[in-house]
């Protein structure tokens, strides 16, 4: 307890501990780099969720040991993510284990039903993404790709996209 009044203590404790934990996250990001906040791989997504969870736990700690445990957990997450990113760059095996492959959901204006079934994405979801991307003519949709992060990219327009943009995107189970 920081002060004797229960409600005031809860408000003060939540404010102080959350501010301290947020500051700690900023320090960790400055040390490890902005890559730690990216969402390039599923591993990065888990890192982001876990960071939020530990940050919330730190802000709700009732004992200093709980706060310390959460802040040490945050540091450990950043260390693991740092080394995982380094290993991913240096090893194709680690890259394959940590990284999903992007997959075509639509190509040349045609839905790929097998890919939709494999990824459990509904055609209506693809159409929603096409509307978001302001795609007005399906014949000008070159590709709709479910990215490794779960995001959906829509490539459309009059010009065909550079082949390098589609390198590594798979059609279906291979």
For the stretch 2-40, pLDDT in tens is 677 888 888 998 999 999 999 999 999 999 888 787 777
Residue boundaries of the structural domains of the chain: 6-97, 100-166
Interatomic CA distance for residues 9 and 112, integer angstroms: 57
Q: Which CATH architecture best describes the domain 100-166?
A: 2-Layer Sandwich (3.30)
Alpha carbon 121 to chain centroid distance? 18
- Label residue 25 exposed, middle or buried (CB < 10 Å: 0-12, 13-18, 19+): buried
- Whether the predicted model's global pTM rises above the 0.85 cut: no
**Per-residue tens of pLDDT for the chain, all 174 residues:** 567 788 888 899 899 999 999 999 999 999 988 878 777 777 788 888 999 999 999 999 989 999 999 999 999 999 998 888 888 888 878 777 777 789 999 999 999 999 999 999 999 999 999 999 999 999 999 999 999 888 899 999 988 898 899 998 988 765
Other C-beta atoms lying within 10 Å of the C-beta of residue 98:
18
Interatomic CA distance for residues 7 and 60, integer angstroms: 14
| Cα 136 to Cα 39, 127, 132, 146, 161, distances in angstroms | 29, 11, 10, 20, 17
């Amino acid at each position: 307890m920081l002060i004797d009044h229960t409600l005031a203590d809860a408000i003060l404790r939540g404010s102080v501990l959350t501010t301290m934990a947020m500051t700690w996250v900023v320090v960790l990001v400055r040390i490890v780099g902005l890559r730690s906040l990216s969402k390039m791989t599923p591993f990065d997504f888990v890192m982001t969720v876990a960071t939020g969870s530990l940050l919330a736990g730190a802000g709700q700690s009732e004992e200093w040991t709980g706060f310390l445990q959460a802040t040490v957990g945050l540091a450990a997450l950043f260390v693991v993510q740092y080394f995982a990113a380094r290993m991913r760059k240096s090893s194709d095996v680690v890259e394959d284990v940590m990284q999903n492959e992007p997959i075509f959901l639509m190509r040349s204006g045609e839905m790929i039903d097998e890919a939709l079934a494999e990824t459990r994405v509904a055609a209506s979801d693809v159409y929603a993404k096409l509307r978001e991307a302001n795609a007005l003519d399906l014949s000008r949709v070159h590709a709709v790709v479910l990215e490794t992060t779960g995001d959906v990219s829509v490539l459309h327009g009059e010009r065909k996209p550079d082949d390098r943009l589609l390198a590594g995107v798979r059609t279906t189970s291979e």
